[in-house]
Every structure is written in structure tokens, then in C-alpha cells.
Amino acid sequence: MDRPAARGRDGRPGFVTVTCGCSTCPHAPGRDAMDRLRRTVRSTPHGILLSAHCLIGLCADRRSASPRPGFSAVVQPAESGTTPTGPPYLVGPIGTPGELARLCGWLAAPRPCTGGPPGGLASRVHRTEAPRRD
């Protein structure tokens, strides 16, 4: 079941995207991919791009969670103040220019994060429990 897109104070949808920021991680985006993500997120009114420790938890031993090369990201719909409004999606691996273009197109869409990641980008475990509002 699709949830409505998260909205900022001006009514526009928002999201938070987190990528691995560890330079030695096989799941971290390369410089060109990160530049493309930055440009895409900056072009949206309520998009936020963050880097964190390895999202997959495999930096230390350099094992791969996927037989395909590429980086992983977590994307979650959120209000403009970063309050989660829907479940996070684990996307990736993003290993080709076409996959990166689909990810950026999804984030730049008028209603990002609705309906889940574009075909072929959702990780096998791509949805988790919806956020709780206490």
C-alpha cells in the first residue's frame, strides 16, 4: 500500500538520503556519483543528503553484501524538519550510470518516495517498519 508523500511546510514532499561516507567501503558512492546526488538533492526543495558510517556494516572486512558492484543508500520520506513520515528504503547497489539516473530521477520527481524505489533499485530488504510517532 502506497503512503502519501511526505510534505514540507510549503506542501512539497521531502526526503532524507543517507549514503556510506567511508572512503574505503565498497558500498560508498564514488566522487562522480556523489556529485550527481548532491546536485539532485540541492535541486529539490526539501531533500537532505547525509553521509554516515557504512550502511551495510561491512567496511572493516571489505566483504560484499551483493555480488553486484555499486553503492547503497537509504532513502526515507520526511517532513522538511527531518521528521520521518514513512518507511525507509534500502536501494542499491547502484553500479551503473543508468541506475544512478533512475535514483536521481526518483528523488527529483514531484512526489519522491511514493511507490517505492524504481524497478531494479530496491534492495532485497528494501522496507522496514514504519516510523513510530510517540
pLDDT in tens, the chain (134 residues): 444 444 445 566 689 999 887 777 666 778 899 999 999 999 988 899 998 876 666 554 444 455 567 888 889 988 866 788 888 888 888 889 999 999 999 999 887 777 788 888 887 543 444 445 55
CB of 123 closer than 8 Å to CB of 91: yes
Give the closest residue to 65 by CA, choosing from 17, 24, 123.
123
Residue 57 pLDDT = 61
- Grid cell for residue 44: 529539490
- CA 48/CA 63 separation, integer angstroms: 28
CB of 84 closer than 8 Å to CB of 48: no
22, with CB counted inside 10 A (0-12, 13-18, 19+), is: middle
